Amino acid sequence: MAGARRLTAPPDAGHDTGDTLLVVRAAEGDEDAFAALVQGHAPVLIRLATRLLGTVAEAEDAVQDAFLSAWRRLPEFHGQASFATWMYRIVTNRCLNVLRARRPVVPLEAAGEMPAAEHATSPARITEARDAVRELREALDLLSAEQRACWVLRELDGRSYEFIADAVGISQEAVRARVFRARRCLTQALGAWR
């Protein structure tokens, strides 16, 4: 049901206990410990970055940069947040910068012609629903970097407004405003509105 909201899972479910030791060790220069952290956290972060940026290739670049930056900053990371939350924040910010650098992109009129990267091979029989998904994917490029980030974290990743505010570093109020604007823009783009 479209109206049923997903439960927002805590970002660290399950990870925390094992991470504590690994994080301390990595901060002290233990490369094996850091490798274990990378291996463990990469899948979730890749999914996040893919949703934010649109392609796996870009996501992998962003996540790789984020991990390198985390390695450099680990000695100053004193576990105020969990490692998962910390990484989530670094990746989000990294992706925001990528999105900002990407703009301005498509003028509104050209949005329809945007090649859907990675999805160019669509099956011959395109259902209406799949059409809507493709339109939505393209319409995401119409959003500002900040709108896109807030909207993706909310709608695709199912995060709470509080969590998003923390990850993006703005007030909850501002997050709500951005998600609202994004929804408005997207409903309009999908031709539903009006």
Partner 1 sequence: MTTHTDPPEGTRADGDDERLPCGRPLSQVWDDWERQVSDPHSATCPHCRHAVRDLEQLETAVAGLREETPETSAYDAEPLTRRVMDLVRLELRPGRPLPLGEPAEDLWIMETVAARALRSAAESVEGVSAGSCRIVDADGPAAGVEVRLDIHAPAHVGLQELAERVRRRVREAADRELGMVIASVDIRVTDLVDSGAENREGDTA
At 185, which helix (H) or strand (E)? helix 172-189
Burial-class residue 108 by CB neighbours within 10 Å (0-12, 13-18, 19+): exposed
What per-residue string of b and e applies to 135-166 under the rule 16 or more CB within 10 Å gives b? beebbbbbbbbbbbbbbbbbeebebebebbbb
Contacts of 111 (CB under 8 A, 6+ apart): 138, 139, 141, 142, 189
Residue 24 contacts partner 1 per CB under 8 A = yes
Residue 77 contacts partner 1 per CB under 8 A = no
Structure tokens at 12: 């660290």
Residue 193 contacts partner 1 per CB under 8 A = yes
Residue 34 contacts partner 1 per CB under 8 A = yes
Contacts of 25 (CB under 8 A, 6+ apart): 33
The one among 84, 95, 164, 186 contacting partner 1 by CB under 8 A: 186
Q: Are 139 and 132 in contact (CB under 8 A)?
A: no
Residues 80 to 139: which contact partner 1 by CB under 8 A? 100-101, 103-104, 129-130, 132-133, 135-137
Closer of 74 and 89 to partner 1 (Cβ): 74
Residue type, 126: I
Q: Which stretch binds partner 1 (CB under 8 A): 27-35, 76-84, 85-93, 106-114?
A: 27-35
Per rule CB under 8 A, count of chain residues that contact partner 1: 69
Chain residues that interact with partner 1, rule: CB under 8 A? 2-3, 5, 13-15, 17-18, 20-21, 24-25, 28-32, 34-35, 38-40, 42-44, 46-47, 50-51, 60, 63-64, 67-68, 71-72, 100-101, 103-104, 129-130, 132-133, 135-137, 144-147, 155-156, 170-171, 173-174, 176-178, 180-181, 183-184, 186-187, 190, 192-193
